[in-house]
A and B are shown apart, each in its own frame.
Chain A
Amino acid sequence: MIGYYVELAVHSLRRNKVLTALMVLAIAVGIGASMTTLTIMHLLSGDPLHGRSGQIFYPQLDANPDSKGRQPYDMLDYPSATALWNAHRADRQALVVNSPIKLLAPGTRLPPLMQPMLSTTADFFPMFAVPFRFGRSWSAEDDAAHARVAVISADLNDRLFAGENSVGRTLRLKNSDVRIVGVLAPWRPSPLFYDVRGGRFASGDTASFYGKPEGVITPFSTALEINDGNFQPFTCWSVPATPGHLQNASCVWIALWVQLGDAAKVAAYRQFLDGYVAQQHALGRLTRTDNTRMRSLTEWLDFNGVVPSDVKLQTSLAFAFLAICLCNVVGLLLAKFLRRGGEIGLRRAMGATRRAVFMQCLVEAGVIGVLGGIGGLFLTVLGLWLVRRQPLPYADVVHLDVSMFLVTFLISVGASLLAGLLPAARASLVEPALQLKVL
């Protein structure tokens, strides 16, 4: 029966090509706009660690002795960060700090370049499942020994060494030589979650959270030596004595990430964190004992409002636009079905049930939805292509994946069926006798 209805629907759609084209176009444009923006939302708000983010936590404490008791700072001061890290109370733990550094690859013809350098500890790589192409990460012993080693990104390896295995080669970072021990496989977390902070001060302009990972990664202890004087604080409550040297300054500038396998460990770490603050309070270094936080990675991303407000705004606009397009389709379908009042009356008089008429109309709406979905898919691909050409930090991660491909069709057919409900119901109420008289 459905097959027959589809045939009827196609026949009916062919009869009034302009009206059909208008409806298909309305659905296609609405779907194209909303799916383009929804795909970007989906890509930007996804879990950067694919299901493991529930185990990753971001401890915070209030390091400012003059704290007014608002949110603790987004980063840690040097004594707190290193003390928490040295306690080794988590399954895995990594200190993270960022600094710009001059980089030169001896033996290549490239001029020196400035690169953001990520400095961290050995657990960073297994904790965040960072993939390697060549070599390996450094060890905990390297951390302790301030080893002159580095891991570089696939991008930087392509740029400096044309993608060859560069393990064992030397890089000159500022005035120090470091040995490359590992080269990452292409790795593009979105957002760059371990660098996320300060989102609540960004007024929604958070596109920079979706930038590319740093080119060069060195051990934390090594970086403090080779790039001393070039560290930027997140904020300070008094001016550092030596600019860029922050170990003994009243500044926060280090992030600590911990991995905690189960709820008991999470509770234990919270207790440990509070205990540390209480102990430091007793020693007179910290003033507030009630202002610690330990958000999970997901909570931390939410707290920082990582999805740029422009993207959210575009998505709501696109869906408002889709709603308007659907209103349009409802109106046009209504006109179309009611124009066929005579035909429907005849069918009813010949014994068709209201249900059959309703189903037939709905199938027709569904066919429009499928056609509109195909058009919408083309427009979505076109829209995403346009977004990729924009100079946005996340332009390179924008693509249509299988799930969004299916969602496009589901939304399109669902929307057109929804739009068809009212007109179909109205059409099925046509009284056979009344219509026959005017035929």
Chain B
Amino acid sequence: MQIQPVLAALRRHRIATIVIALEIALACAVLCNACFLIVRRVQAMHVQSGVDEHALGTIKIEGFEGSQANDLNARVTAALRALPGVQSVSSIGAVPFGEPGVIAGVTRDAAGQQFGGVVDFYVAGPGAAKAMGLRLLAGRMPAPDEYMPVTQIVPKEAPILITHVLAEHLWPGENPLDKTIWSMDTHFRVIGVVDHLTIPQPGSGEEKDADWSIVVPAMPGPQFAGKYLLSASPEDLPRVMRDARIAALKTAPDAVLDLEQSRTIDQLRDTFFLSDRVMTGLLIAVIVALLGTTALGIVGLASFWVAQRRRQIGVRRALGATRGDILRYFQIENFLIVTIGIVAGMILAYAINLVLMSIYELPRLPFGYLPIGAVALWILGQLAVLAPALRAASVPPVAAIRSA
């Protein structure tokens, strides 16, 4: 089967060919970019929190006076610890996928000249780092006597745990242990490096990486109260959380229980990524609708071409062309049109990506998406043209002598 005669025939239907190729080009461009956006969202949704998500929950109480804090901490912690199934209860300042905690810029020198970026601080009470399930890569966990009261926002001159990614960002290639950072009118010394710990709200704000977080040990007190981390076995957790909310309401009747934040980490994660899930669903729906529309367009036009060329097909059949020859003719024709569309579509895809890059600060579209889009459209084109082409192949040679 030669391509030459197909091309010659296409030249006679220039407008229709261009329209279909344009449709393919647009579909290709949107498809590549939409797939790219979906993959980025899905990657964002699968961010590693670094904590033992299925076994953790949090309780948040607000609306009490600083003077009541010590009493409240003691009563609530005791009440939560007494619940059956609870493995540990500790005070915490923030949890992954919950409300943001302490966010501050850090510097690598006392004078504040060497800016290290804006990072999230997890203020953690005794036992919290262990309960979270943080994996220590180097150094040690805070010792019992290193939990100091919070004076303003964090304890002064505290020892800290830092994530591997943040350590590498602050001191590339160096051993981060015993290094010091300055922030919030005080300084912190690194005593341990943990594998992963996401910031509470990954993907938002100024952070360059989701793992830019620091754990600061602190003793519960007037400036550090009302938020508790519970751990339980994953099977027990839903019941434990139900009981914990009731217990918190009973123990602190004058305060207000924050129902939105008093949930399991799994639930907080679900809520946090809700809009991403909705958007991903929407993008997938657009892709499906787009491919469907494109396929219908191909079917419509190919059917028309088959009807129009009934007589010519009959002549070719009468001259000895097999059914396979006719079938292949339409398949090659479709392949050529789709190819023209894909070539234009790739240029368009990059143009759209450039616009997206400037508006949404997206990275450049990786080349890998182009062959995926191309193959998808080739397959779609071949499938769409199959029915009309089969109809063409079933035209009997005798059609040649009948009028069209």
- Which of these, A113, A313, A314, A325, contacts B360 with CB under 8 Å? A313
Contacts of B286 in A (CB 8 A): 33, 317-318, 321
Q: Is the CB of A328 within 8 A of B297?
A: yes
Within 8 A of B (CB), among A189-214: 201-205, 207
Q: Which residues of A contact B184 (CB under 8 A)?
A: 239
Whole-angstrom CA separation of A330 from B296 in the bound complex = 13
Main secondary structure of the interface of B (DSSP, over half): helix
Number of B residues with CB within 8 Å of any CB on chain A = 56
B-chain residues with CB within 8 Å of residue A335 when the two chains form the complex: 16, 300-301, 303-305
Q: Which residues of A (203-239) have their CB < 8 Å from a CB of B?
A: 203-205, 207, 229, 238-239
The main secondary structure of chain A at its interface with chain B is helix
**Inter-chain contacts of B16 with A (CB < 8 A):** 331, 334-335
Name A203's contact: one of B19, B26, B356, B361 (CB within 8 Å): B361
Flag if B62 contacts A114 (CB, 8 Å). yes
Q: Give the contacting residue for B15; candidates A203, A243, A422; CB below 8 A.
A: A422
Instruction: State which residues 321-349 of B face A: CB under 8 Å.
Output: none
Determine if B379 is an interface residue (Cβ-Cβ < 8 Å): no
A100 contacts which chain B residues (CB < 8 A)?
A: 62
A312 at the interface (CB under 8 A from B): yes
B278 at the interface (CB under 8 A from A): yes
B358 proximity list for chain A (CB < 8 A): none
Question: Interface digits, B9-36 against A, CB 8 Å rule (1 contact, 0 not)?
Answer: 0000001100110110011011000100
Contacts of B290 in A (CB 8 A): 321, 324
**B347 nearest CB across to chain A (Å):** 15
**Which stretch of B47-55, B132-140, B201-209 is in the interface?**
B201-209
Q: Select the residue from A175, A238, A324, A339 with max chain B CB neighbours within 10 A.
A: A324
Number of interface residues of A (CB under 8 A): 54
A317 near B360: Cβ-Cβ < 8 Å: no
B33-86 CB contacts (< 8 Å) to partner A: 34, 37, 62-63, 65-66
Q: Is the CB of A328 within 8 A of B23?
A: yes
Bound Cα distance from A426 to B403, whole angstroms: 24
- Chain A residue with the shortest CB-CB distance to B249: A111
* Closest Cβ–Cβ distance, residue B82 to chain A (whole Å): 23
**Chain A CB within 8 A of B110 CB:** no
Whether A202 touches B279, Cβ cut-off 8 Å, given contacts A114-B256, A328-B293, A339-B308, is no
Verify A392–B275 contact, CB threshold 8 A.
Answer: yes
Asked whether A19 is an interface residue with its Cβ less than 8 Å from the other chain, the reply is yes
Number of A-B contacts (CB under 8 A): 134
* B307 on interface, CB distance cutoff 8 Å: yes
Residues of A within 8 A of B66 (CB): 229
Other-chain contact of B289, A33, A111, A201, A241 (Cβ < 8 Å) = A33
- Complexed CA–CA distance, A309 and B204 (Å): 13
Q: Which of B30, B34, B303, B356 contacts A324 (CB 8 A)?
A: B30
Given A229-B66, A238-B185, A334-B19; A324-B275 close (CB under 8 Å): no
Interface residues of A (CB under 8 A from B): 19, 22, 26, 29-30, 33, 100, 102, 111-114, 174-175, 201-205, 207, 229, 238-241, 243, 309-310, 312-314, 317-318, 320-321, 323-325, 327-328, 330-332, 334-336, 338-339, 390-392, 422, 426, 438
6 A-B contact pairs sorted by A residue (CB < 8 Å): A22-B296, A22-B300, A314-B279, A324-B290, A325-B293, A334-B19
Known: A243-B223, A324-B26, A339-B304. 6 other contacts (CB 8 A): A26-B297, A203-B204, A317-B286, A331-B19, A332-B300, A426-B15
6 A-B pairs with least C-beta separation = A335-B304, A102-B63, A327-B23, A328-B297, A331-B19, A239-B185
Report which B residues bind A (CB closer than 8 A): 15-16, 19-20, 22-23, 26-27, 29-30, 34, 37, 62-63, 65-66, 152-153, 184-185, 203-206, 223, 254-256, 258, 274-275, 278-279, 282-283, 286, 289-290, 293-294, 296-297, 300-301, 303-305, 307-308, 352, 356, 359-361, 403-404
